[in-house]
Amino acid sequence: MTTRTIKVDILARVEGEGALTLVLDGERVIDARLELFEPPRLFEAMMRGRACTEAPDITARICGICPVAYEMSACHAVEDALGVQVGGELRELRRLLYCGEWIESHVLHMVMLHAPDFLGFPDAMTLAKHQPERVRGSLRIKKAGNALVATLGGREIHPVNVKVGGFYRVPRRAELAALLPDLRAALAEAEETLGWLATFEFPAFERDYELVSLRHPTEYPMNEGRLVSTKGLDIDIHEFGAHLQEHQVPHSTALQARIVGRGSYQSGPLARFVQNADRLSPRASAAAVRVGLEPTCRNPYRMLLARGVETIYALDEAIRIIEAYAPPAEPAVPLVMRAGTGQAVTEAPRGILYHRYVLDDAGIVQDAQIAPPTSQNQRGIEEDLLAMGPMLASMSLEQATRRAEHAVRNYDPCISCSTHFLTLRFEQQGSP
């Protein structure tokens, strides 16, 4: 028997460090491993003994690309424990901040990390030599997203203005209104960019995924909603642990998430779009129609287009929020410490991010649990690779390697986030 091994020692153009190994026997993939080998930083242990009000600042440091997602899930989970409701304009401002992160993270991935795969370039800088206006245009969209995060949060990476209960200082109308011209220009540019992305060649590949996302009664989901799937899951997020669990697999150092009684699942832009296309703004809906992206889509390569549609949505939504904005009287809801357990799921750019905290009566964290999107998506990524045998068999080793790497990047994996938790679940399986 002749086998071929595809091995990528350091996956490029992903956030954090991982490796990929694939063993092919003819058309059959007999082993697929996405190894995430960043050293553990022990965040869940570090959170013990910290004040619950420190959770947003500390957990933001898990990820430099999606710190807002960590701040949001941390705030909502702690507020759940303290019995605090954050509504009105403060809730809108949180949504606005999340829009900024979706925009900058999505554009970073689409144009700088993923488009080079479709076009056969090593990076966006080389792409820029061939299509300078495309790259410059997308950098302008990214900048508009980052400007939103920086204005509202203080800076692009690890924003300082988020606190449990709301914000330290809410922006004046004029501060946000000043962002509108660039956001409007970025919206038009994002529509053009999506049109360009849609001209790429998408490999013919589909799988029968269980797609999981939040679902809100009226909004495209970001901070709140029930957790639903394409195979009938429909739960309150407080039931997360009873339905979404992690299991050890022999070939991996990482435990992988499964839905109890079924199997792997995927979250992220495609899952959100498929289950919430009816909640998009008219302009984002129209963009999806123009590029032929439909809720029946199960091709992971076309997740790129879902990201593009969500970028348009996030720009549209940011403009709506700013136009309607009136500063609230108080920047935050007051907090009263009490013992309890709180949980939350929010939609990070890459998928669902779960936080759970147990607090004592002074609000000191006794126990913390965090499930980042990439650890939840990892098993499904490997299953994609396992199912790609027929497509890879006819390719040269070099082509097959590039195609496999490309498949991993479909999910915009965030390895700095996931590793610290992945290894930990694996080890827990071995507990006596």
Complex with other proteins: residue 190 or 271, whichever CB lies closer: 190
| DSSP annotation string for 276-337 | HGGGS-HHHHHHHHHTT--TT---GGGHHHHHHHHHHHHHHHHHHHHHH----SSSB-----
Complex with other proteins: residue 17 or 383, whichever CB lies closer: 17
CB-CB neighbours of 11 under 10 Å: 20
Complex with other proteins: residue 245 or 428, whichever CB lies closer: 428
Cβ atoms of 138 and 110 within 8 Å: the answer is: yes
Sequence-ordered list of residues with C-beta below 8 angstroms from that of 35, at least 6 positions apart, any chain: 18, 19, 20, 21, 252, 253, 254
- Min. distance of Cβ 396 from other proteins in angstroms? 17
- Min. distance of Cβ 423 from other proteins in angstroms? 7
- Min. distance of Cβ 315 from other proteins in angstroms? 16
At 88 the three-state DSSP class reads: helix
- Min. distance of Cβ 121 from other proteins in angstroms? 9
How far apart CA 199 and CA 203 sit, in angstroms, is 12
- Min. distance of Cβ 327 from other proteins in angstroms? 13
Complex with other proteins: residue 189 or 210, whichever CB lies closer: 189
Binding interface with other proteins (CB under 8 A): 10-17, 38-42, 44-46, 48-51, 54, 57-58, 61-65, 67, 104, 108, 112-113, 116, 122-126, 128, 132, 135-136, 139-140, 142-143, 146, 154-158, 160-161, 163, 168-169, 331, 362, 364, 416, 423-424, 427-432
- Min. distance of Cβ 50 from other proteins in angstroms? 6
Q: Which two structure tokens, joined as six digits, stand for 339?
A: 């013992």
- Min. distance of Cβ 430 from other proteins in angstroms? 5
Burial group, residue 292, by CB count within 10 angstroms (0-12, 13-18, 19+)? exposed
- Min. distance of Cβ 62 from other proteins in angstroms? 6
Complex with other proteins: residue 168 or 323, whichever CB lies closer: 168
- Min. distance of Cβ 262 from other proteins in angstroms? 26
Q: Which residue type, as a one-letter code, is found at position 382?
A: E
Complex with other proteins: residue 265 or 421, whichever CB lies closer: 421
Complex with other proteins: residue 15 or 382, whichever CB lies closer: 15
Complex with other proteins: residue 109 or 272, whichever CB lies closer: 109
**340 to each of 71, 287, 326, 345, 403, how far by Cα in Å?**
20, 44, 34, 17, 48
Dihedral sign for Cα 259, 263, 269, 275, please.
negative
How far apart CA 315 and CA 323 sit, in angstroms, is 12
**319 to each of 149, 155, 170, how far by Cα in Å?**
14, 20, 17
Complex with other proteins: residue 62 or 404, whichever CB lies closer: 62
Q: Which two structure tokens, joined as six digits, stand for 398?
A: 């070099």
What is the residue whose two structure tokens read 């799988």? 207
Cβ atoms of 225 and 343 within 8 Å: the answer is: no
